Structure 1
Amino acid sequence: MAEVDPGVESQARHVVYCGGEYPWGVNPSMDYCEFGGTAKKCEEWLKDHQSDLWDQLYSGDALNANLSTLSVSAQERAAKDAAKKEAKAALVEARDAERKAASRIQIKRVERNKRKHVTVITGLEVHGLENKKLAKELGKKFATGSSVTKSAAGVEEITVQGDVSDDVREWLLEVYGSKVPEANIELVEDKKKKSGTGA
């Protein structure tokens, strides 16, 4: 075990977590913002929520002091790198927005046998919702069995026992309306084909 020098005083470090809007939730640390292309968002969040720290890092005096230590070529490279990272992050964000706008959430009423039905829901993961968590919530909400399975195409789907397709649609809009646009929800009825008796 390493010995601690009695002349050195240990200090706890306070880490500020960025609360900007990210597809994956909260950014783990302000240290990573500058490397991920979201520096502008982080800077804006910091200015609004941690003004003292913003002054220390981004005020005119702080920037001039940091830039004065860099050579002109290093300053130009840093500016180009920052612009590339921001453009890349904006492109990824735009692609995600397009993908979400084009994706369909399908709520399908499937006939099992005679008068028994199940409701199958697909396409929720594109909107940042977790299928397993939703299956559990739906099971509790409708007091029925609910599970996550893979379809023949390899897509995850939530299967809820019973004909609750209209209720599921209303519930999704009520609870997750901010993440799930109403125009993206599609109700489908899937009936079993009856086998004909030939004569």
Structure 2
Amino acid sequence: MVDTESQDSHAAPAEPQSRHVIYCGVCSLPPEYCEFGGTVKKCQDWLQKTQSEMYDRLWSDDALAAATSALSVDARKRAEKDAHKKALKAEAAEAKHAQTIASSKVLIKRVERNKRKYVTAVSGLEAFGLDNKKLAKELGKKFATGSSVSKLPSGGEEIVVQGDVSDEIEEFLLDKYDVIPEDNIELIEDKKKKKDIGAGG
């Protein structure tokens, strides 16, 4: 008896099995856990488009029926109620986020500093989840000029780029960051009042 036990204890350990884990393209959790994030509907749409077999396994009517069949009637009602609450909460959060984006503006302002010397100030980017410091570096590289981030008196930050590049910055933002709708970008010219020279000659 002792011999067989000692033989068993020296058996080779099982070979570890590698597993390929899929992560959701929306919330970055494994799809089995998407329901705990705040974007269930978007996660389901993504899964259906990219991993249809997995979607059927997790979210098809049969899969949902099988998951709830083991529950008592009360537990099933509670689960449905919870799922409904979660869905409403997620929808409200998404709607709020969409509303914030819809009402947010990116202001690109051309500011005259001295005679014929301009800087371009960009503010409002943080509402779209963009990082001002990273963007300031990108803009500095793109236009081969100085670019820095400064605090605004009203709160928030703005990127100040040397030179009159407001149109180019608008084009750059629209090309690279599709989170910003074109209608949400406003170009402002901060002109110093000039006397009309040669008028009424």
TM range (shorter): 0.7 to 0.9
Aligned match of 1:63: 64
The 5-angstrom pairing of residues 120-131 of structure 1 reads: 120-131=121-132
Q: How does 1:72-151 map to 2 (within 5 A)?
A: 72-151=73-152
User: Is residue 12 of structure 2 the alignment partner of residue 11 of structure 1?
Assistant: no
SS of residue paired to 1:16 = coil
Could you tell me which amino acid in structure 2 is paired with residue 183 of structure 1? D
For 1:4 and 1:182, the matched residues in 2 are separated by 68
Q: 1:76 to 1:181 in 2, by over 3 A?
A: same
Contact 1:36 1:85 in 2 (8 A): no
Bigger drift between 32-41 and 91-100 goes to 32-41
Change (3 A) 1:4 1:105: farther
Cα root mean square deviation, aligned: 2.7
The one-character-per-residue Cα deviations of 1:132-183 (angstroms, maximum 9, x if unpaired) are 222122112211011122122231111101121222223323333x322222
Find the aligned partners of 2:38 and 2:80 in 1 and give their Cα distance: 12
Task: For residue 24 of structure 2, give the secondary structure of its aligned residue in structure 1.
Answer: coil
Change (3 A) 1:115 1:5: farther
1:197 maps to what in 2? none
Q: Is the 8 A contact 1:136 1:146 kept in 2?
A: yes
Q: Secondary structure at the match of 1:112?
A: strand
User: How far apart are residue 186 of structure 1 and its match?
Assistant: 1.5
- Are 1:37 and 1:82, in contact at CA under 8 Å, matched by a contact in 2? no
Q: Is the 8 A contact 2:32 2:58 kept in 1?
A: no
**What one-letter code is carried by the residue in structure 2 that aligns with 1:31?**
E
**Measured at CA, do residues 162 and 13 of structure 1 come closer, stay the same or move farther in structure 2, by a change above 3 Å?**
same
CA distance in 1: counterparts of 2:71 and 2:164, whole angstroms: 67
1:8 Cα offset (Å): 4.1
**TM-score (normalised: structure 2):** 0.79
Tell me whether 6-15 or 145-154 shows the greater mean CA deviation.
6-15
Q: Is residue 2:47 matched to residue 1:41?
A: no
The alpha carbon displacement at 1:191 in A equals: 4.4
5+ residue gaps, structure 1, are: 21-25, 195-199
TM-score normalised according to structure 1 size: 0.79
Distance 1:125 1:68, change over 3 A: same
Q: What is the identity, as a one-letter code, of the residue corresponding to 2:19?
A: R
Judged with a 3 Å threshold, the aligned counterparts in structure 2 of structure 1 residues 127 and 5 are, in CA distance, closer, same or farther, namely farther
Map of 2:157 onto structure 1: 156
Give the whole-Å Cα distance in 2 for the aligned partners of 1:30 and 1:96. 22
Aligned equivalents of 1:38, 1:115: Cα separation in 2: 49
Residue type at the aligned position of 2:84: A
